Amino acid sequence: MTTFSDVGLSPELLQAVADLGYTEPTPIQAQTIPQLLFSDQDVIALAQTGTGKTAAFGLPALQTTDPKNTETQTLVLCPTRELCIQIVRDMEMYAKHLKRINILAVYGGTNIETQIRALKKGAQIVVGTPGRTLDLIKRKKLKLGAVRRVVLDEADEMLSMGFQEDLDSILSHVPGERQTLLFSATMSDRVLSIAKKYMEDPLRFSVARVNAGADNVSHGYYMVNAKDRYELLKRLADVHPGIYGIVFCRTRKDTKEVAAKLMQDGYNADAIHGDLSQSQRDDVMGKFRGRQLQILVATDVAARGLDVNDLTHVINYNLPDDPEVYVHRSGRTGRAGKSGASLSIIHSREQRKIRDIERSSGIKFKQLVAPSGSEICQTQLLSLIDKVKAVEVDEKQIKPFLPEIYKKLEGLDRETLIKHFVSAEFNRFLAYYRNARDLNISGKKSRKEREERGGRNASKFKRVFVSVGKRDGLNPARLIGLVNELFRSDEFSIGKIEVLKNFSFIELEKDVADLFVNGVSHLEFEGVPVNVEYAEELHGSGKRSSKQNARKKRFTGGYGGRRSRSDRGGSGHRKGKGRASSRKGRKNKNKD
Ligand code: AMP
Tens-digit pLDDT profile for residues 268-292: 999 998 888 888 888 998 899 999 9
Instruction: Give the mean pLDDT of 236-261.
Output: 92
Please determine, for residue 433, whether its predicted confidence score (pLDDT) is greater than 90.
no
The pLDDT value recorded for residue 491 is 63
Looking at the structure, tell me whether residues 235 and 365 fall in a common domain.
Answer: yes
Q: Which of 54, 216, 309 to mutate to test the pocket of ligand 1 (most atoms within 8 A of CB)?
A: 54
Q: Are residues 8 and 140 in the same domain?
A: yes
**Candidates 6, 13, 309: which one to mutate for ligand 1, based on the most atoms within 8 Å of Cβ?**
309
pLDDT band of residue 576 (cuts 50, 70, 90) is very low
130 within domain boundaries: yes
Return the residue whose CA atom lies nearest to atom 22 of ligand 1. 22
Looking at residue 305, its pLDDT comes to 63
**35 CA → ligand 1 middle, Å:** 19
Average pLDDT of the chain to the nearest whole number: 81
How many helices (H) and strands (E) are present in the chain, helices listed first?
24, 20
Distance 455 CA to ligand 1 centre (A): 60
| CA gap 535, 344 in Å, rounded | 42
Query: How are beta strands 532-534 and 461-466 bridged, if at all?
Result: antiparallel
Q: What is the CATH number of the domain that holds 113?
A: 3.40.50.300
Paired residues of 152 in beta bridges: 77, 182
Q: What is the CATH number of the domain that holds 573?
A: 3.30.70.330
Q: Is the CB of 86 under 6 A from ligand 1?
A: no
Is 441 domain-assigned?
no
pLDDT at 213: 46
Band (563; pLDDT cuts 50, 70, 90) = very low
- Boundary of a domain, candidates 157, 182, 206: 206
Answer yes or no: do 199 and 229 share one domain.
no
For residue 97, the model assigns a pLDDT of 95
Spatial CB neighbours of 237, under 8 Å, sequence gap ≥ 6:
243, 262, 267, 294, 295
Percent of the residues in the chain that have a pLDDT greater than 90, as a whole number: 38
pLDDT of residue 33: 94
Q: Are residues 200 and 224 in the same domain?
A: no
Percent of the residues in the chain that have a pLDDT greater than 70, as a whole number: 83
Q: What is d(CA 42, CA 36) in angstroms, rounded to the nearest whole number?
A: 9
Is pLDDT of 566 > 50?
no
367 with 384, same domain: the answer is no
For residue 158, being part of any structural domain is answered with yes
Distance 456 CA to ligand 1 centre (A): 60
Mean pLDDT over 420-435 rounds to 78
Pocket test for ligand 1, best of 14, 19, 26 (most atoms within 8 A of CB): 26
Q: What is the mean pLDDT of residues 492-518?
A: 83
Same-domain status, 80 and 45? yes
pLDDT of the residue at 456: 44
Position in ligand 1 atom list of the atom nearest CA 86: 4
Assigned domain for 309 exists: yes
Q: Is the CB of 58 under 6 A from ligand 1?
A: no
Pocket test for ligand 1, best of 3, 19, 20, 84 (most atoms within 8 A of CB): 20
25 lines ligand 1 (CB under 6 A): yes
Identify the residue whose C-alpha is closest to ligand 1 atom 15: 52
Q: How confident is the model at residue 564 (pLDDT cuts 50, 70, 90)?
A: very low
pLDDT in tens, 367-425: 898 888 888 888 888 888 888 888 888 889 999 999 999 998 888 899 998 888 888 87
SS3 annotation, 407-456 = HHCCCCCHHHHHHHHHHHHHHHHHHHHHCCCCCECCCHHHHHHHHHHHHH
Q: Are 12 and 148 members of one domain?
A: yes
User: Looking at residue 451, what is its pLDDT?
Assistant: 47
Find which of 262-266, 274-278, 298-302 is predicted with most confidence, using mean pLDDT.
Answer: 262-266
pLDDT of 71 over the 50 cut: yes
Among 206, 237, 259, the domain boundary falls at 206
Cβ–ligand 1 distance for 49 under 6 Å, the answer: yes
Is 19 inside any structural domain?
yes
Statement to judge: residues 185 and 230 lie in one domain: no
Residue-wise pLDDT tens digits, 125-173: 999 999 999 999 999 999 999 999 999 999 988 887 888 999 999 999 9
pLDDT in tens, 324-380: 789 888 888 877 667 889 999 998 778 888 988 888 777 889 989 888 888 888 888
Which of the given ranges, 8-22, 291-305, 497-511, 528-542, has the highest pLDDT on average? 8-22
In a domain, 148, yes or no: yes
Domain tally, the chain: 4
* 443 vs 481, higher pLDDT: 481
What is the per-residue pLDDT for 267?
A: 93
Residue whose CB lies within 8 A of the most ligand 1 atoms, among 6, 22, 76, for a mutation test:
22
Q: Give the model's confidence band at 488: pLDDT under 50 very low, under 70 low, under 90 confident, else very high.
A: low
Give yes or no for residue 315 CB within 6 A of ligand 1.
Answer: no
SS3 assignment for 25-54: CCHHHHHHHHHHHHCCCCEEEECCCCCCHH
Q: Which atom of ligand 1 is nearest to the CA of 50?
A: 2
pLDDT digits (tens, 9 = 90+) for 42-70: 999 988 777 889 999 999 999 999 999 99
pLDDT at position 221: 94
More confident call, 428 vs 280: 280
CB count in 10 Å sphere of residue 528: 17
Question: What's the 344 CA to ligand 1 centre distance in angstroms?
Answer: 27
Residue 438 falls within a domain, yes or no? no
CB–CB of 433/376 below 8 Å? yes
Could you tell me if 351 and 225 lie in one domain?
yes
Distance of CA 276 to the CA centre of its chain: 18
Among residues 78, 192, 89, 178, which one has the least CA distance to residue 130? 78
Residue 243 has pLDDT above 90, yes or no: yes
Among the candidates 153, 181, 206, a domain finishes at 206
Would 27 be classed as within a structural domain? yes
Residues 452 and 519 placed together within one structural domain of the fold = yes
- Residue 169, domain extent: 4-206
Is the same domain home to 196 and 238?
Answer: no
Ligand 1 atom showing the smallest separation from residue 29 Cα: 19
Q: 378 CB less than 6 Å from ligand 1?
A: no
CB 97 within 8 A of CB 16: yes
Strand order of the β-sheet with 366-368 is 269-272, 295-298, 245-248, 313-316, 340-346, 217-223, 366-368
Exposed (0-12), middle (13-18) or buried (19+): which is 316, by Cβ within 10 Å?
Answer: buried
Domain co-membership, 565 together with 528: yes
Residue 585 has pLDDT above 70, yes or no: no
